[in-house]
Amino acid sequence: MREISPGITIDPEIRSGKPVVKGTRVPADILVGKLAGGATYEELMREYDLTQEQIFAALRYAASILGEERVKAIL
């Protein structure tokens, strides 16, 4: 297991190495996607037995990945 961002880990034995919330098997992308789809923090906390800070960790990780992305415009 390796922590790639505060609160987010990867492990080839868990979810085939997808980034998950530390100490769980909950993929970060699932949380971000559900929030984008209208789920509330409270719903995710109940459904996945997470804290609000764990959800924030997934959001911070997603923001950091998007912040590093480079897009080359082709006109």
Residue ranges covered by each domain of the chain: 2-68
Q: Could you list the pLDDT tens digit for every one of the 75 residues in the chain?
A: 999 999 999 999 999 999 999 999 999 999 999 999 999 999 999 999 999 999 999 999 999 999 988 888 898
> pLDDT value at position 70?
87
Number of Cβ within a 10 Å radius of residue 49: 10
pTM for this structure? 0.89
Residue 8: name the closest of 23, 34, 16 by CA.
23
Tokens 């924030």 map to which residue? 56
Q: How far apart are CA 4 and CA 20, in angstroms?
A: 10
Which CATH architecture best describes the domain 2-68?
A: Orthogonal Bundle (1.10)
Tokens of 68: 């590093």
Residue 7: name the closest of 62, 56, 45, 48 by CA.
56
Sheet containing strand 8-10, edge to edge, reads 2-5, 8-10, 20-21
